[in-house]
């Protein structure tokens, strides 16, 4: 049963999910680029990847980047060159301007966290290179923690890095199940549906951008 968070006035940190909150992502771009490399159709590639456990194993830290690339190469019957694969795999993100602006406005008043189910290559080439990444005080990535949202361990990791109790933090994610996972650990939670609704929800909690 979710823990009851303290009063909203105690909020000291805002924690963001990355995909579809800070940046959108479009895996179709990846399949289009991989298709041009290996000759398989985008639809065939998507089916093969969807039927595989490789993405989950990679994001949870169970396998390394070389093992992930090797596994996908076997899956697709094509030896992807590493540099070409990384470019295709990570060129899927597009900034959400309203969130970038919100992060910059929150920075002077609140500690900021980033919490993402992600892989080493996405973190290195897609997340850490994002313009607002240096503004985050702490980041927890699933492959580093060895746990994926909504596992309690990843929420516990980010609040520990921020040095705050869960009730002093609000977590924003586009997936309701991940928001419920945060609430179950004692954090406040907001399901992201768009910039206007997000501002309304933050202000109800007493957060002043």
Examine the pLDDT at 8 and tell me if it is beyond 60. no
- Return the biggest CA–CA distance within the chain: 56
Claim to verify: residue 79 and residue 100 sit in the same structural domain: no
Start-end of H helices in 51-108? 54-59, 65-76, 82-90, 97-106
Claim to verify: residue 106 and residue 196 sit in the same structural domain: yes
What pLDDT does 3 receive? 52
Claim to verify: residue 106 and residue 136 sit in the same structural domain: yes
- 139, with CB counted inside 10 A (0-12, 13-18, 19+), is buried
Is 3 within the bounds of a domain?
no
- On whether the CB atoms of residues 161 and 138 are closer than 8 A, the answer is yes
| Domain's final residue, options 90, 125, 145 | 90
- On whether the CB atoms of residues 149 and 20 are closer than 8 A, the answer is no
Claim to verify: residue 155 and residue 166 sit in the same structural domain: yes
Is 105 within the bounds of a domain?
yes
Examine the pLDDT at 19 and tell me if it is beyond 80. yes
Name the domain count of the chain: 2
Claim to verify: residue 102 and residue 142 sit in the same structural domain: yes
What pLDDT does 137 receive? 98
Claim to verify: residue 194 and residue 111 sit in the same structural domain: yes
Is 209 within the bounds of a domain?
no
Separation CA 142–CA 115 (nearest Å): 8
| Domain's final residue, options 48, 70, 90 | 90
What pLDDT does 145 receive? 98
What pLDDT does 10 receive? 83
HEC sequence for 158-200: HHHHHCCCHHHEEEEECCHHHHHHHHHCCCEEEECCCHHHHHH
Region 141-152 average pLDDT: 98
Is 122 within the bounds of a domain?
yes
Separation CA 156–CA 165 (nearest Å): 9
Is 200 within the bounds of a domain?
yes
Average pLDDT over all residues of the chain: 95
Q: Tokens standing for 62?
A: 């169970």
Region 167-182 average pLDDT: 98
C-alpha distance across the termini of the chain, in Å:
31
Distance of CA 23 to the CA centre of its chain: 9
- For residue 31, the domain's CATH number is 1.10.150
- On whether the CB atoms of residues 114 and 18 are closer than 8 A, the answer is yes
Is the whole model's pTM more than 0.85, yes or no?
yes
Is 145 within the bounds of a domain?
yes
- On whether the CB atoms of residues 157 and 138 are closer than 8 A, the answer is no
Claim to verify: residue 135 and residue 50 sit in the same structural domain: no
Region 173-190 average pLDDT: 98
Identify which has the larger pLDDT, 1 or 69.
69
Instruction: Tell me the per-residue pLDDT of 24-60, one tens digit each, with 9 for 90 and over.
Output: 999 999 999 999 999 999 999 999 999 999 999 999 9
Angle (nearest 5°) at CA 130 between 116 and 37: 85
| Domain's final residue, options 42, 70, 90 | 90
- The DSSP bridge pattern shows strands 111-116 and 13-16 to be parallel
- For residue 184, the domain's CATH number is 3.40.50.1000
What pLDDT does 111 receive? 98
Domain of 192 in residue numbering reads as 8-24+94-204
Instruction: Tell me the per-residue pLDDT of 58-109, one tens digit each, with 9 for 90 and over.
Output: 999 999 999 999 999 999 999 999 999 999 999 999 999 999 999 999 999 9
């Amino acid at each position: 049963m979710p823990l009851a968070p303290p009063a909203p006035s105690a909020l000291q940190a805002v924690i963001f999910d990355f995909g579809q909150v800070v940046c959108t992502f479009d895996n179709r771009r990846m399949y289009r680029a991989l298709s041009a490399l290996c000759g398989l159709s985008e639809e065939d590639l998507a089916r093969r990847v969807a039927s595989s456990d490789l993405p989950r194993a990679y994001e949870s830290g169970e396998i390394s980047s070389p093992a992930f690339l090797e596994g996908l190469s076997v899956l697709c019957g094509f030896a992807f060159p590493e540099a070409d694969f990384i470019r295709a795999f990570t060129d899927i993100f597009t900034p959400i301007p309203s969130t970038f602006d919100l992060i910059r406005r929150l920075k002077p008043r609140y500690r900021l966290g980033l919490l993402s189910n992600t892989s080493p290559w996405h973190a290195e080439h897609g997340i850490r290179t994002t313009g607002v990444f240096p503004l985050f005080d702490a980041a927890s990535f699933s492959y580093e923690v060895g746990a994926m949202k909504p596992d309690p361990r990843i929420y516990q990791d980010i609040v520990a890095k921020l040095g705050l109790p869960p009730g002093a933090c609000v977590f924003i994610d586009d997936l309701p199940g991940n928001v419920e996972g945060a609430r179950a650990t004692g954090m406040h939670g907001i399901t992201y549906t768009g910039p206007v609704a997000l501002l309304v929800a933050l202000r109800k909690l007493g957060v002043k951008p």
